[in-house]
Amino acid sequence: MSMVVIILFFVFLFMAIPISLVLGMTTILYFLMEGNGTLMQSTPMRLYSGLDNFGLLAIPLFMLAGELMNGGGITTRLVKFAKVLFGHVRGGLAYVTIVSNMFLASILGSANAQAAMMSKIMVPEMEREGYKKEFSSALTLASSIVAPIIPPSMIFIIYGTLSGTSIGGLFMAGIVPGILYGIGFITLISIIGYKYNFHKSERATWKEIFKSTFNVLPALLVPVIIIGGIISGAFTATESAAIASVVAYIVGTFFYRELKWRKIPEILINTVVTSATVTFLIAMANIFGWMIAFEQIPQAIVSGMTSLSDNPFVFLLLVNIFLLLLGAVLDGIAALIILVPVFMPLLTVYEIDPIHFGVIICINLTLGLLTPPVGTGLFIVSSIAQVRFEKLVRSVAPFLIMGVLILFVITYWEAAILFIPNWLGL
């Protein structure tokens, strides 16, 4: 029976059916083939219980904050600020793309949302300055993967909710990896820029730097309040999302005066649609995980992994390889929801910190956005920037290699990842 379900899962997947429906359809078909009426009767309750968690409330609230910042002109000011600081060096606009994504990562928390938005802004801008469209698109996509790493992070919220790990601790643990990815991509750009003699813009005057800095200060209030509030213990990660939304509304309405009432309905609709997509996926993945638990697959995997090696370094290597392969064919959030219950018992066996492991698994699955055949980031950027899919895959390859190298640094440099959470007692 299990083999039939696995075959059906991949058949549905390669039919290009949305992953949320694939998970739900596979589970229901399994229950029907089992002929177990109790499982079918309990399915609606499992769907509900998968979403009945206070921590998940942060997802729509952070999405609302991101939409309010876009509508209020905060996003464009962050990009302009990065351009004033770094636009004058060779390949400056490429560096601006990376730094802008790091700024926005502290606001949006979703790589797909960030890739879509930045593709509209940066790819045409880089093209006007002589960069190839496929390179600009690849850089924009690769830079967007810092969104789920630098706090706040939607994928950290989901992992923390599923595993019972401190979401605030995960947020703080994401700071160092986010900086490492920024440094890694900047290093790669400097090498590529030297080889291809990238364009160099004029240096901004001190007056322009001062003006841009003054304009961007209200925009920086949102990430400062989110991180500062969590660090100080003034509020939880979920509460910080609500406060961030309020601050984004105030800044966009009263400081920049670009957030008009006529934009509010569209902002709310976008927030609801995006949130519904994510929560529907979580609900479907929850019953799929329930089916896996019923088949005792987690126990089989635990037994298999421990029989291979009792060395935590080997275990983490195997986990990374497995997740990199899985991320190429399965949506990151769905994979996370399915795998967390499988891996959590192993963390005790191998004495691995759940916050450190959460960073590893979340970054690993985020890299799946860059890998064919089902890397959603590739499809999003390819569609928006109008770049051929295969050209984008080739152009993003160096960034993917750099991403994997940094992943292994993060995997085996536990002290650097846990330094901030331990220092703050999270």
* Per-residue pLDDT tens over the stretch 226-260: 777 777 777 776 787 788 888 888 888 888 888 88
DSSP 205: P
Band the pLDDT of 373: cuts 50, 70, 90.
low
pLDDT of amino acid 366: 86
In the predicted structure, residue 38 carries a pLDDT above the cut 70 = yes
% of the chain beyond a pLDDT of 90: 9
Burial label for 202, CB within 10 Å (0-12, 13-18, 19+), is: exposed
Give bridge partners of residue 200 from the DSSP assignment. 90
In Å, what is the CA distance from 13 to each residue of 17, 18, 185, 217, 280?
6, 8, 32, 46, 17
H helix intervals, 15-110: 19-34, 37-49, 58-71, 74-86, 92-105
Using pLDDT thresholds of 50, 70 and 90, give the confidence band for residue 106: low
Q: How confident is the model at residue 355 (pLDDT cuts 50, 70, 90)?
A: very high
Share of the chain above pLDDT 70, in %: 90
Mapped onto helix, strand or coil, the DSSP state of residue 165 is coil
Mean pLDDT of the region 347-366? 90
Whole-angstrom Cα distance, residue 314 to residue 322? Answer: 12
Extents of the domains making up the chain:
44-424
According to the model, what pLDDT value does residue 407 have? 94
Give, to the nearest 10 degrees, the angle between helix 58-71 and helix 264-294: 150
- Tell me the pLDDT tens digit for each residue of 171-196: 889 989 989 998 999 888 888 877 76
Q: How confident is the model at residue 199 (pLDDT cuts 50, 70, 90)?
A: low
Q: How far is CA 291 from the centre of its chain?
A: 26
Is 27 a residue whose pLDDT tops 90?
A: no
Q: Answer whether residue 145 shows pLDDT above 80.
A: yes
Quote the distance between the C-alpha of residue 332 and its chain's center: 9
CA 284 vs. chain centroid, Å, equals 19
Query: Residue 329 pLDDT > 70, yes or no?
Result: no
Q: How many CA within 13 A on the CB side of residue 76?
A: 11
- What is the model's pLDDT at position 298? 61
- Would the pLDDT of 1 be above 60? no
Residue pair 218/258 in contact by the 8 Å Cβ criterion:
no
Say what the pLDDT of residue 14 is: 74
Q: What is the DSSP letter of 200?
A: B
Specify the higher pLDDT residue, 312 or 75.
312
Whether 146 contacts 181, CB under 8 Å: yes
